[in-house]
Amino acid sequence: MSEMPGQATNRAPHRRLQVNPETLRFVPAEKRDFWEKLAEDVEINIASQFGKRWTMLATLRVILASPDETYEEVARVLNRSPGAVRYRRQAMIHLLRDEHSAVDRVEAYRSDPKAFHKYSDYAQVAEALEQLGYFDMPVREQFALAVPLGQPSRSWRGDGSSAALAQRKNTYSSLKEEVRRLLDEARNFGST
């Protein structure tokens, strides 16, 4: 496994599986129907460019956005999620301020794009900043440009669309796995 230069290798301890000792209770079908229909009615509005490759033009739009614009406004123009725009803008800020190992990420990606593919966003933002001449500016001017866009609150980190999509995708497969496990457990119950 390749690691980024300067990245900590300490991993969080594994959490133990908690077993519920209570017996399983079956829920009548008429009560289950309500919850199943409720899950089908949920609609997630996803930007048309969600998950698509970023163009250099779109990256430049994020970099050149005025600090009085909001992430939602820029996202609407680009057909992207506000969280995706925020990620690009934060990459720009980290590169201009030389913080959070941003420059190391770009160098790692450029040295081995396959091993460090997750840093391709930072590499594209760095390329745009180089083309604009931002790295040639005095540090004072770089810091003046490294400003986040308007956001609903200080703790806002995006609209959660990627998390919602990932959960929707994983829910079906995890339910299938759980049913298989329960069937196997029921089959093996009498043989032990």
pLDDT in tens, 56-93: 999 999 999 999 999 999 999 999 988 899 999 999 99
Query: Taking residues 136-163, what's their average pLDDT?
Result: 80
Query: Taking residues 38-44, what's their average pLDDT?
Result: 67
**Alpha carbon separation from 55 to 93, 104, 122, 127 (Å, rounded):** 19, 23, 13, 12
> ∠ CA 128-54-73 to the nearest 5 degrees?
90
Position 91 scores a pLDDT of 96
Domain coordinates in residue numbering, the chain: 47-153, 160-192
**Alpha carbon separation from 125 to 129, 134, 147, 189 (Å, rounded):** 6, 11, 15, 57
Position 111 scores a pLDDT of 97
Position 42 scores a pLDDT of 64
Pick 66 or 172 by higher pLDDT.
66
Query: Taking residues 123-138, what's their average pLDDT?
Result: 96
Instruction: List alpha helices for the chain, DSSP H.
Output: 29-41, 56-63, 71-78, 82-97, 102-111, 120-132, 139-145, 161-189
